[in-house]
Structure 1
Amino acid sequence: LAAGFNTPIAGVLFVIEELMRDISGLTLETAIAASFTGAVISRFFNTTDLNLPTALLDATRRGSFTPAEIPFYLLLGFLAGILGGIFNRCIIRGMKFNRNLAIPRPLKIGLAGLISGIVVAFLPPFFMDNAGLREFLIAGELSWQLTALVFVAQFFLAIVAYSSGAPGGLFSPALVLGSALGYIVGTFEVTLLGTESPYTFALAGMGAFFTAVVRVPVTSIVIIFEMTADFNLVLPLMIVSATAYIVAESVSAGSLYEHLLGASGIEITEEHPHHDFLSELTADDVMESKVQTLSSNLTLSELIKAMSRSHHRGFPVVEGDRLVGIVTQSDIPKDSQKSGSMLLRDIMTPCPIVVNPTTSIADVLFLLNRYQLSRLPVTEGNKLLGIITRSDIIKAEAQQLNRDRRVTIKSEPAYVVYRTRSPATGKGRILLPLANLENVSGLMKLALAIAKERKYEIECLHIVPVPRYIHPAQAKVNTGSSRKLMRQMERWGRKEKIPVHTKVCLANDIVEAVLETVAKEHIDLLLMGFKGKTANPEQVFGSVTDSLISQAACDLLLVKLGDADSHFPLHFNERPKWLLPTAGGKNIQKATALLPGLANLYPNPKTLTIELCQVFFPDKVKPNGKNIQQIGDRLQSKIGLKIRPLVIRSHSVSEAIIKLNQAANYDLIILGASNEGLLQHAVKGNIPKAIARDSTSTVIIFRSSL
């Protein structure tokens, strides 16, 4: 612009307006240097520019503006906006048509030249001097009919030439079209109002049409002003450029250059400022899920002791899993001795302000500031899921500023194709991934029994694997059988009056899809089936199962159904017996909490006998039977089931359990294991895997949450 039109200021402004989304000191300084260099070198070589000749801009041809002309300038801006928007659309469609022509580019350009030559041959001679056509129109030496002919011909030929891919631009054609349109409107204004000439309208039309095509209104005003050095044109240019911009955006939104880049496969996306991440993150992303809670029936002295042992100064108050209030240090009465008989429920803040997991962090921050709070509980219904403090938000913001992409970018491995929801009335949730459809009925029966006793909901998940080179959302698969299976799960849930949610999804990675569901649905217990044997000796329970054991943070229940057709839980022995091997670890103690629910599968749970077995290595020291007896008594009083202690000597725990099962034919063997014990390789002695592999009974392995 600076070199061709001798308009260095307009050159700088054009860069600013086109690069408005990412303008910076660097781009501004570069634009100024480039415009200055282009203008100076152009003058140094006495280059003929595209400016208006001095003879055309004498003192007798200065612009004019009166309030009575405003409606006509509005009309000019309106027409320029409509025709400029149509011009841009025709350019884009012409380029697409040209690209679809299966002929070489030189032939395309030659064809455009042939069409242009034929059209110009039938036009008046003055049209052949295209370089002086703009000045010819501004000077007003043509009738309005010939000017209209010039506009139509130039409109058509500019589209043909530019669409062909021939070297050239749109600046000069836009100015010619604008001057012709302005002259026509000016002639109409002269006829009605009797002013001197349409000179001002011709120059204002140049700015209006340039704005409509390129969408740079400030540049349009400045470029005409720089070319004419006539300040009287500024007000007409402002009103026509603004009107043309608004109308053109409604006809064809976006600059022509953006559309041209898009047609070339270059998409320009708006950059989001860093603070926008507060709206992108949700409470589920930032909250602390391991929450220290207090029971509502604590006495004041117990509350003070609990607060003195913790670095927190505020706690959610719960009754069971249900949030009933929140208490802070400021809620404790000053005279705590006189208030010693008070309970926590008497001083807590009932019905606190809460947020759900999908609430944006921006909204969380608003609530914290609005009500001068230091923490907000995150709930789903009345169930407490976590808590958010100001420090949690500060940590997330610090990670964003340090460009820790783990905070703001989450993988989306699964694409949901089918989903049903039941009322969220449970205290917790079981996830049941359905892989081997032959074991569905047995696993679902176990899940229903546990859910019924613990008042849980069940989330049934069926994952259809998709090759990694196919995006899950674009995969073509038949999900008819999966949907039929999920409807069966819902019927079983309705029969037992258990809320059952179902989901069928496509995923490249099964493990990621399961972990995603565990996190999003706040799963308390992951119940999975496994075969007991693996084809790959380097795997323990299988690649998917091993990965979930190491990564799933919730409680995990691995189930290997029995080999016989009459296996538990689908069939029972007349005198049912379970085997509970223990070494006194916490996992087997937590697993016993599941026993009452599983026992209710029997018509008469009182007929069930549980043998609590402890294996001792043969040595000179006599095994202490009192210890196992005490454990059995505690469990029996806790779960209300008959427990019989059993002491065995053996060099191998797994061999002892397998032989005992072969002799007694147990319905069920329940094992507790840690993460390390489950993933320990078989060569080093993986006891849970060995028992599950070589036992014909149903085997359940429990691993508590990480």
Structure 2
Amino acid sequence: MKNLLAKWWNSRVLATSSVDTRYALIEACAIGFFSGLTALLLKQGVGLLGGYRLELARAWGASWALPLIGLVMGFLAGWAVELLSPAAAGGGIPQVKAALARYPIKLNLRVALVKTLGTIFVLGAGLTLGRRGPTVHIGAALAAQISSWLPNSPTNRRQTIAAGAAAGLAAGFNTPIAGVLFVIEELMRDASGLTLETAIAASFTGAVVSRLFNSSDLNLPQVLLDTNSRSSFAVEEIPFYLVLGILAGVLGGLFNRGIIFGVRWNRKLPISMPLRVGLAGLISGLVIAFLPEFFRDNTGLREFVIAGELTWQITAIAFMAHFFLTILAYSSGAPGGVFAPALVLGSALGYLVGMAEVNLIGTESSYTFALAGMGAFFTSVVRVPVTAIVIVFEMTADFNLVLPLMISCAIAYITAEGVSRGSLYEHLLEVSGIDFKEETPTRDFLSQLTAFDVMESQVETLSSQISIKETIAAMSQSHHRGFPVVDDGKLVGIVTQSDIADARRENAVGLLHDIMTPQPITVNSKTSLADVLYLLNRYQLSRLPVTEGNKLIGIITRSDIIKAEAKQLLGDREICKQSEPSYITYQTRSPATGRGRILLPVSNPENAKPLMNIAIAIAKYQKYEIECLQVICVPKYIYPAQAKVKTGDARHLMQRLERLGRKSNIPVHTQVRIANNVSAAILETLIQEQICLLITGWRGKHLTPENIFSNVVDTLIEKATCDLVLIKLGTYNNCFPQSVDKKVGKWLIPTAGGNNIQQSIKILPGLASLYNSAHTPKVTLCQVYTPNQGAFNFYSIRKLAKAIANNTNLAVKALPIRAYSVPEAILRLHNAEKYDLVVLGASSEGMLQNVMSGNIPKEIVRKVSTTVIIVRSGHKIGT
């Protein structure tokens, strides 16, 4: 059914849905309908389990039946949430707020179903929580799921989720206006046309369904709702409403502080969530069992408290019991809300103030104070005064309440901000490790993204010393319309198609240096996309080189910015926006004596030593220093600089690598970084430390269709601006090379017969130094040619073998092989000769492209058990 519906939507609706808000309104109405049904299901389920609970308490005795039921049903609720959907824990409003700010919070049908089930168990167990907060969470989750089934415009999806939250609140309280205001005042703080339209449509539908099935009542007693005789307001009562606002603000602020403290304390307990919720149910049952009988039914308690049918002493006890039991239940992570408890607590507080006012000045308005107290306490807890006023007004439809509500809620808000500043939900997100920030409007994304976020790091470059004829040939063979000109790693100019056209018209001869544009306009990696776009428009350019100093690290074009904007509109936060900057939590520096620097990221302590030995061998030959790096990854919603992680093991590993460097007289620098993304942190380090060579290991496991090697390795291959050496250690990777027990080492170097092996030759002397003189390796240079190629040019491979032997002082044998499949031929040779090392040189077109087209590296790495090294140069040379 879902597939058929999606197919119909895609074929008939999607073409116009992105520009026509009518489809968003239809979707909002569907969300409101299902939210209303969910409110009915919650009411019926809670009523059914609550009725069984009271019957068992009467039949078997409340002193043990209530605690036992609270323990068992609370445990079941926690178990269902922990096992099926941990995202369904808690009240739900913080999760919705974070999801609307584009934090990676799950909202789907699974969350909605588990939230419904868990809330029924929790409230049926007698915990003093409400079902209105969960209906907001459920409505938002249903909206997110429906939005994925019925594709809407990417810019409308946040509004759809917000509409679901509004529908949940409207269905829970039968207050459609309050549902819309809550979205604007607390969740999104956005009053744009589409937000209002979808929220109104969803709230209206949810409230209609809720009223139709009578699923939203708060059980307000009829005597209280008889506003003609009960509600009043007089000027002389204003001081008492001020006192009510102050008391509600202070107690509401303490209530919030208690919840935050309880959540922090519960997270430190070494027990599972099911047991925490079960213990909360047990304690609640014990306390309620020794209170008057009407405390056993939350509905009955609300009726007595709101109607004022209790003495002030019993009302005070009811307030205190409800106050602390709500904090206990909510802090455990039980799926329940604080909306209804806040209204009940406010009514009790208001009734107490009203009784004092009656005794002091003789009026009969204690019931009005009870209703004003509901709004005031709700305001002090949730910090949404307008929503609080409208909720109470919509539930009572009493205009006489507006002025008392306005006075009490305003004072409560100001007082509560002095006791506990900020939204309860934002504090709860901070406790969960989310440094909450309001979502920045899409139009500002150009100021947030930088050139580094979207630039192309694998750049085709030309040398200024090649001829104009060679430049024209390179340009004709490439789909690019311009090339940076690089000499000795430094950007010296740029050449474009217009330069080539001018040269042709003038029949120019000579070198590229004569026609290129010297000292081109450049940007650095931290330049915002807004500034990049300004430069492109101001100077009528199509591309800009990205540099650090004089070193070229990438290039950015107009099309890159257009792609980034498209991803931003799709809500692709991970791809479109770079992770937060990594944070260096540990760092050591050695004297800088080398002429370049190697970066060695390490993650597996077992592989650290053999990888370090390889890095030391190469560093000795190249006269390089080594920068050792370990990245500790934290979730994307945690700011790395504020993350609390243990770094003891990482520090010890860095210290061991330092000692290995000192033994070999190689300068070794170390650092431990905390980051949201491992590959991003490595790329950041490459630029900051001006790395010349990146050496990284790969386990050779967990190959998936989505990745060539792995997420991290693929990203480094694609974006690293320096030379890269990828090492897959063999089966016996506790040392390198594996052939130390043999008389002679054996290496295999496949080649395509061109210049692709040149970069590999640079590291061979360093690798050879790992052997002693008796084990100097013998090298087989292998080239495969197919039978349909005709005669094979033996001269070229022998010439290359001789060049390798001269540069490395190794014995090199040239071996041509005739076969149809290059990987199969090399694997057969490897299995027959038992080589202990295979070295592959990446082609100038890039390693990933070779792998994806079925070339050598992936098949070799996948199927051989010995050590494999793949070398990729830092920049492609367009010659």
TM bucket by the smaller chain?
0.5 to 0.7
Q: Please state how far the C-alpha of 1:260 moved relative to its aligned partner.
A: 13
* Alpha-carbon spacing, 1:451–1:32, altered in 2? closer, same or farther (3 Å): same
Alignment of 1:304-703 (within 5 A): 311-324=479-492, 337=506, 343=513, 347-350=517-520, 352-356=522-526, 374-380=542-548, 382-399=550-567, 401=569, 407=575, 420=588, 429=598, 431=600, 435=606, 439=610, 442-452=613-623, 458-460=626-628, 478=649, 482-491=653-662, 495-496=665-666, 500-501=669-670, 517=682, 521=686, 527=695, 554-556=724-726, 561=737, 563-564=739-740, 584-594=753-763, 631=800, 676-677=855-856, 703=871
Partner SS for 1:290: coil
Contact 1:582/1:612 (CA < 8 Å) preserved in 2? no
Partner SS for 2:619: helix
Please say which of residues 475-484 and 646-655 is displaced more in the overlay: 646-655
Q: Please state how far the C-alpha of 1:488 moved relative to its aligned partner.
A: 1.9
| Corresponding residue of 1:110 | 289
Aligned to 1:54, which of 222, 228, 231? Answer: 228
Q: Please state how far the C-alpha of 1:448 moved relative to its aligned partner.
A: 0.8
Q: Please state how far the C-alpha of 1:563 moved relative to its aligned partner.
A: 3.6
TM-score by length of 1: 0.58
Does the alignment pair 1:14 with 2:195?
Answer: no
| Corresponding residue of 2:192 | none
Measure, in 1, the Cα distance between the counterparts of 2:364 and 2:575.
65
| Corresponding residue of 2:412 | 244
User: CA offsets, 1:285-305, max 9 Å, x none?
Assistant: 532122133445678898777
Partner AA of 1:388 in structure 2: I
RMSD: 7.2
Measure, in 2, the Cα distance between the counterparts of 1:247 and 1:204.
19
| Corresponding residue of 1:218 | 386
Name the structure with the higher helix share.
2
Partner AA of 2:222 in structure 1: T
Does the alignment pair 1:28 with 2:196?
Answer: no
User: CA offsets, 1:512-538, max 9 Å, x none?
Assistant: 97998479747875657999xx9x9x9
Contact 1:181/1:205 (CA < 8 Å) preserved in 2? no
* Alpha-carbon spacing, 1:380–1:426, altered in 2? closer, same or farther (3 Å): farther
Q: Please state how far the C-alpha of 1:386 moved relative to its aligned partner.
A: 1.6
Q: Please state how far the C-alpha of 1:28 moved relative to its aligned partner.
A: 3.1
Contact 1:451/1:457 (CA < 8 Å) preserved in 2? no
Measure, in 2, the Cα distance between the counterparts of 1:240 and 1:308.
77
User: CA offsets, 1:439-460, max 9 Å, x none?
Assistant: 56752442213542xxx65344
User: CA offsets, 1:212-239, max 9 Å, x none?
Assistant: 3454422444445965534xx7567545
Q: Please state how far the C-alpha of 1:492 moved relative to its aligned partner.
A: 6.1
Partner AA of 1:584 in structure 2: G
Larger radius of gyration: 1
Contact 1:610/1:643 (CA < 8 Å) preserved in 2? yes
| Corresponding residue of 1:171 | 343
Partner SS for 1:246: helix
Partner AA of 1:592 in structure 2: I
| Corresponding residue of 1:157 | 318
Alignment of 1:56-205 (within 5 A): 63-64=234-235, 77-86=245-254, 100=279, 103=282, 107-113=286-292, 133=308, 150=312, 154-161=315-322, 170-171=342-343, 173-175=345-347, 177-178=349-350, 181=353
Contact 1:281/1:361 (CA < 8 Å) preserved in 2? yes
TM-score by length of 2: 0.48
Measure, in 2, the Cα distance between the counterparts of 1:393 and 1:285.
10
Partner AA of 2:523 in structure 1: I
* Alpha-carbon spacing, 1:99–1:278, altered in 2? closer, same or farther (3 Å): farther
Contact 2:346/2:370 (CA < 8 Å) preserved in 1? no
Partner SS for 2:290: helix
Partner SS for 2:318: helix
Partner AA of 2:346 in structure 1: A
Partner SS for 1:14: helix
Contact 1:671/1:702 (CA < 8 Å) preserved in 2? yes
Q: Please state how far the C-alpha of 1:464 moved relative to its aligned partner.
A: 11
Measure, in 2, the Cα distance between the counterparts of 1:205 and 1:587.
80
* Alpha-carbon spacing, 1:186–1:288, altered in 2? closer, same or farther (3 Å): farther
Q: Please state how far the C-alpha of 1:113 moved relative to its aligned partner.
A: 1.9
Contact 1:459/1:500 (CA < 8 Å) preserved in 2? yes
User: CA offsets, 1:446-505, max 9 Å, x none?
Assistant: 2213542xxx6534467999xxxxxx9989985675233222245368x456x6445599
User: CA offsets, 1:240-293, max 9 Å, x none?
Assistant: 42332233244245778x69999xx9x999995783877886655532122133
User: CA offsets, 1:350-378, max 9 Å, x none?
Assistant: 5622224xx77677667767987654434
* Alpha-carbon spacing, 1:218–1:615, altered in 2? closer, same or farther (3 Å): closer
* Alpha-carbon spacing, 1:550–1:290, altered in 2? closer, same or farther (3 Å): closer
Aligned length: 599
User: CA offsets, 1:386-442, max 9 Å, x none?
Assistant: 222231232244345557687369999x99986546779976745475745775675
Q: Please state how far the C-alpha of 1:312 moved relative to its aligned partner.
A: 4.1
* Alpha-carbon spacing, 1:178–1:352, altered in 2? closer, same or farther (3 Å): same
Partner SS for 2:222: coil
Partner SS for 2:524: coil
* Alpha-carbon spacing, 1:567–1:530, altered in 2? closer, same or farther (3 Å): farther
Partner AA of 1:561 in structure 2: P
Please say which of residues 608-617 and 560-569 is displaced more in the overlay: 608-617
* Alpha-carbon spacing, 1:246–1:421, altered in 2? closer, same or farther (3 Å): farther
Measure, in 2, the Cα distance between the counterparts of 1:372 and 1:86.
60
Measure, in 2, the Cα distance between the counterparts of 1:41 and 1:440.
68
Partner AA of 1:50 in structure 2: L
Measure, in 2, the Cα distance between the counterparts of 1:583 and 1:199.
92
* Alpha-carbon spacing, 1:487–1:655, altered in 2? closer, same or farther (3 Å): closer
Partner AA of 1:355 in structure 2: S
Unmatched segments (≥5 aa) in structure 1: 1-6, 118-127, 137-148, 191-195, 466-471, 570-576, 603-607, 694-698
Measure, in 2, the Cα distance between the counterparts of 1:594 and 1:200.
86
Q: Please state how far the C-alpha of 1:318 moved relative to its aligned partner.
A: 2.9
Please say which of residues 196-205 and 372-381 is displaced more in the overlay: 196-205
Contact 1:524/1:555 (CA < 8 Å) preserved in 2? no
Measure, in 2, the Cα distance between the counterparts of 1:85 and 1:182.
21
Measure, in 2, the Cα distance between the counterparts of 1:224 and 1:581.
80
Q: Please state how far the C-alpha of 1:81 moved relative to its aligned partner.
A: 1.9
Measure, in 1, the Cα distance between the counterparts of 2:564 and 2:343.
48
* Alpha-carbon spacing, 1:671–1:330, altered in 2? closer, same or farther (3 Å): closer
Aligned to 1:286, which of 454, 462, 470? Answer: 454
Same amino acid, percent of matched pairs: 33
Please say which of residues 436-445 and 274-283 is displaced more in the overlay: 274-283
Partner AA of 2:558 in structure 1: R
